[in-house]
Structure 1
């Protein structure tokens, strides 16, 4: 599928083009921007491809949704939005902890993919409390960093590694995840 890509370094259409080159044939999946809300929709009778939608033309949204897709197993990829629940802002403390527990691995993948693009990664906890204040994210940040370090030692999940390598080629960055320096200070 040919896509004309603008020269802007962090144009989300570049991510679409790389993703589609990597996964349209092998995984029957396309990355699609312009959505009001992110969504994964498995293929069906009226839709031949699995579609991974991200918000508007937001580069970070595309990376985040790709990260969820990269770690979702075959059963999850047969469910709308991978079968995940989403509670809107105003989550209770226990709901927030549950949210963070399922976000560690996707956000660790997102950080690696961001590095492959030369794009700044920011953790997302998505839950502003009273007065627009975020909850304490120290533990969550530490968990994301620990997961990245583990993948530096053991290797990324297969699709994440494939996309990481393709992004490095597209953006002209280092192809060796082990050579990257990840630290807690990067998350400030």
Structure 2
């Protein structure tokens, strides 16, 4: 949920404010510019059937099960499969959660983080919580940003999720807004979830690494 809506006529100013506080040639700036560029994709369609199909395919390419059902019928992720009757960015966000979660929690309801906003069996999902609040907050932020970067890769309007998930919150205080963005970009990189250019690793790379580790 977007905490503070940013009107369309203010958005260029907000983006420029964040951009000005990212170092030239930095990883964070490269990531930001790719996200900001997707503003041009918004008029071409938002949450289209093609966008949703691409989200389902991304999950399947990573070896994640998919179920053509509403998350409210059970869980967003049941320990094996994502329920896919959601908006495209929600599907991609769940894939990002799978990537961020350590392997031992990929078999847990909603990744052991507690019920997500789409899950219907809330009490059951919350009984499966396996992490502390700090980990919940960190993984949610990392999954948000990684999902946005996958939207960029899939040529989807990632800027909308960037706004909805509050990455421009507090843009009027740009140092804090930029610091939050920079720290999470760098953490994604340190954890091996994006490459040196700030792009997420493709399924064949990730699944290959998983097979090799096994």
Say whether 1:58 aligns with 2:87: yes
> CA offsets per residue over residues 62-97 of structure 1, 9 Å max, x none?
111111011111121121111112487xxxxxxx98
Compared CA separation, residues 62 and 30, structure 1 to 2 (3 A): same
Alpha-carbon offset, residue 156 of structure 1: 2.0
Say whether 1:69 aligns with 2:98: yes
Q: Give distance in 2, aligned partners of 1:32 and 1:141.
A: 38
Corresponding pairs, count: 129
Instruction: Flag the structure with higher helix content.
Output: 2
Which runs of structure 2 are paired with 1:123-142 in the superposition (5 Å)? 123=162, 124-125=164-165, 137-138=169-170, 142=179
* Secondary structure of residue in 2 paired with 1:137: coil
TM-score, length basis structure 2: 0.46
TM-score, length basis structure 1: 0.52
Q: Give distance in 2, aligned partners of 1:115 and 1:39.
A: 22
Compared CA separation, residues 109 and 147, structure 1 to 2 (3 A): same
Which runs of structure 2 are paired with 1:112-123 in the superposition (5 Å)? 112-121=149-158, 122-123=161-162
Alpha-carbon offset, residue 32 of structure 1: 3.3
Confirm or deny: 8 A CA contact 2:78 2:110 kept in the other structure: yes
RMSD (CA atoms): 3.9
Larger RCO of the pair (alpha carbons < 8 Å, separation 6+): 2
